[in-house]
Amino acid sequence: MVIQNRIAEPTSREIPPDLTIPKLFLQKAAQFGSNRVAMREKEGGIWRPISWERYLKNVRDIALGLCRMGLQRGDKVAMIGDNRPEGLWTEMATLCAGGIAVWLFQDCLLDEVQYILDHSDARFLVCEGQEEVDKGLSIRHKCPGLQKIIWDDPKGMRGYTEECLVSLKDVMRLGRESAERDPSELDEMVQQGHGNDVALLFYTSGTTSEPKGVLLTHHNMLTMGAHLMEVDPCLASDDFVSFLPFAWIGEQMMSISCGLLLGFTINFPEEPETALSDLREIGPHVMFAPPRLYEQMTRTVQVKHLDSGWLKRIAFRWAMAIGHKVADMKFKKLPVPWTWRVLRRIAFEGVHKKLRDHLGLSRIRNAYTGGAALGPDHFRFFHALGVNLKQIYGQTEIAGISVVHRSDDIKFDTVGKPIPGTEIAITEDGEIIARSPSVFVGYYKNPEATAGTLRDGWLYSGDRGFIDEDGHLVVFDRSKDVMTLVDGRPFSPQYLETRLKFSPYIKDAWVIGDRREFVTAVVCIDYSVVGRWADGLGVNYTSYSELSQKEETYQLIAAQIRDANRDLPPPARIRRFLNLYKEFDPDDDELTRTRKLRRAFVEQRYGSLVEALYAMVDVYHMDTTITYEDGREAKIRTDLKIRAVPETG
């Protein structure tokens, strides 16, 4: 291996090698007891606090109950459901008993559930309610290691009599009986653990193949959290809203690693559909979300701007111009003159303050995004509002994070510098590699993949990038996704896709052009936003498919693409495009469960569509099958228009 360049950040905070997540949990519970709120859950429109004392009691009952049911150290406990206190209690209880937690995305299809349960050798499946129980019962005969299915929500469960089913209340009752006989049993179990024990078995999103099971130890998770807190310390009095799936490493990173180290309060929304409104009620101090959420927030503001009166539109544009000017000065590390500071204050009090409050960002101190690149336009938008948004870079294999922006050193075309204790290097062929105490121990049952990813103590990311003159890491794209333009230069399709998604009318985009004569794109419109726009013009439509193919819609999207093409070299500009008849969907395998485009799959599925884009035809006849979440399939036959993009000025 030849290393071209490397950067490292020393650490001043070391995690004891024998410290585990449960040991830290017991310390925090003893420290805060009944005097501090560990978490809140919204039920019936009311936020209900849960103290650290009650948190500990519930974890104890579940842990001892699972042991009474036969859980052994090293056994896997799988969990599926919404973010809720019971889910976190069960995960912590599993770790306290020496088990390994395995999370599944709630919207996983049956074959995904079967694959993960069977591959992980899970003995227990803990479900939120009837929907998840039905999935477990449907695939149980294909997972011989699965012994018990535990359910929490009793709604709809009255008629279920299968012997494998157990309610979480019954598990907790067994645990209380054990605790009454031996009050020290939980402490004794927790003390048996070591930092090098595996805590989590996390399955990657599987953009090109079957998901791989990532084995992460207690030490992996705690060192990552401690090193992130060296960069951006949180406070025990902070609020955090847990609304992203626990099956995503980013949520574990904040709720478990950082949450336990600092002891801040975790807030659980009432329903996934109410998460954004509940976010506004809490007004968290720290937030972590994938780019899609920030894109949605940006689209919300843009739509409000489009729907507002002329006076509000003028005020918004003026305030955003001020915000952008000041943000650009800070990006360039230039002093902000007092005149611009005064104007910035006026813009904040008159416009930005209300917008931030509407988005739930009124108290935000640090906002992070990761999992994929966020476009520079979105970055400038949030910093213009005064939101300290930072890019995170990492992988599940490094416990979630290895690189992050610093508050006083943000360059939106980079992902920042390594967190303390992490070393980043670039190989001779441009691959990003990392070394830190948070690097995973290997892939479960996959020594070949482990050997290919872990070499000489380095984690090979599969991403291409470089280190710039300021010591920032620039991530170009996944090595397999980098395009070669017609003039021979490499180009990242993801960069252009994020620019397109800054338009409120475009929800998703797929840019094509590797080793072709020009660049093309497949666009998924935002149905609600484009629909509102069409209603204002009196354009009639009855469905997503019909609206996407209206000539007026094509003219609208062509204008958005033309704007995104500005400042790009001619070979990188999109020349032709089409509007897809539907949105990209994880259930159709077009996106991962973390909403990343599965390029290899869509290239195979829509291969004939791509050829039509380059065949210079105006209409393409589409004939395909879509899959619904419940497994039903439907045939789609429609004609898709293909249009050229006007040249930029």
Specify the pLDDT at position 639.
87
Q: What is the pTM of this model?
A: 0.87
pLDDT attached to residue 3: 66
Contacts of 145 (CB under 8 A, 6+ apart): 117, 118, 121, 122, 123
Per-residue pLDDT reduced to its tens digit, 284-339: 999 998 888 898 899 889 888 888 888 999 999 999 999 999 999 999 999 999 99
Domain regions of the chain by residue span: 21-282, 289-477, 482-644
Question: Which one is the CATH code of 21-282: 3.40.50.12780, 1.20.120.550, 3.30.1950.10, 3.10.350.10?
Answer: 3.40.50.12780
Full 3-state SS string of 33-80: CCCCEEEEEEECCEEEEEEHHHHHHHHHHHHHHHHHCCCCCCCEEEEE
8 A C-beta contact, residue 62 and residue 77 = no
For tokens 């006076």, name the residue: 311
pLDDT tens string 163-220? 999 999 999 999 999 999 999 999 999 999 999 999 999 998 654 457 899 999 999 9
**Encoded tokens for 372:** 């994929």
What size, in residues, is the chain? 649
Domain 482-644 of CATH type 3.30.2130.10 = no
**Cα 244 to Cα 242: distance, rounded to the nearest angstrom:** 6
In this structure, what token pair is assigned to residue 549?
A: 């193919």
Q: 239 Cβ partners below 8 Å, 6+ apart?
A: 264, 265, 267, 282, 283, 284, 285, 363
**Which residues of the chain fall below pLDDT 70?**
1-4, 205-209, 479, 624-632, 634, 649
CA angle 285, 323, 559 (to 5 degrees): 110
Q: What's the CA gap between 12 and 109, in Å, rounded?
A: 44
pLDDT of residue 390: 94
What six digits make up the tokens of 428?
Answer: 């001779």
The first and second tokens of residue 189, run together, are 């179990």
What fold, for 289-477? Answer: Rossmann fold (3.40.50)
21-282 matches 482-644 in fold? no
Q: What is the CA radius of gyration of the chain?
A: 25
What single DSSP character describes residue 142? G
Question: What local confidence, expressed as pLDDT, does residue 412 receive?
Answer: 82
Cα gap 497→372, rounded to integer Å? 11
Tell whether the torsion through CA atoms of 438, 439, 444 and 445 is positive or negative: negative
Burial 241-252 (b: 16+ CB within 10 A, else e): bbbbbbbbbbbb
What the block records as the tokens of 521 is: 């794109």
Alpha carbon separation from 434 to 9, 38, 370, 558, 583 (Å, rounded):
12, 34, 17, 41, 35
Residue 595 is predicted with a pLDDT of 77
3-state helix, strand, coil in the chain (%, to 5): 40, 25, 35
Residue 6, H or E segment: strand 3-9
